[in-house]
Structure 1
Amino acid sequence: MKVLTPYDPREGISLKEAAARAGKSESTLRNWCVQHGLGRRVGGGVWVVSKVALGMFLDGDRRALAAYLAGDRSSSLVKEYFERVGVSLPGLAA
């Protein structure tokens, strides 16, 4: 799974912020990260959730999430979510 790869801190949010966006507990978000690939541990084991992947998951857009997790960062299906959360696509100027 290629969540937060390449890593861009502008794409990531804390478990606390992700939980607030989703209206769920931090433990639920941690479980979703493991089960659905919405985030990963970075630097010292801190969980970071992808705003892009979380948006796809909350929208129920399994096709977009599968493409994102497979490493797709160029299709319109995925680009739309990067634009929606205000994150420049990896490798492109802001």
Structure 2
Amino acid sequence: MTLNLQRWDGQIRQYQASSKGTAYYHLFSATPLAVEELQGQVTERCLLSLKDQLLKDAQFYLADMPPSRSGPIGVSAVDAPAAAANLPAE
């Protein structure tokens, strides 16, 4: 997994993470849920590694503040998958 971030002044940093997992099961007994859980664990490990790298490099992004802009700030939103919306709240 690779993450490229560009600071306001154009400097770019690249962060990389990888992870792997192994599932042991009898032939034809791997349920889609088991495979999905393993994929989720591997993805989570990669994202945690990227987060740790970003935290170690925080001064690179916080050292120089961008000049004030008169234009609006762009905002993006990400929706949760429909299946996750149906899970009971904890």
TM normalised by structure 2 equals 0.22
Q: Which has the higher contact order (CA 8 A, sep 6+)?
A: 1
Q: Which has the higher helix share?
A: 1
Asked which structure has the greater CA Rg, the reply is 2
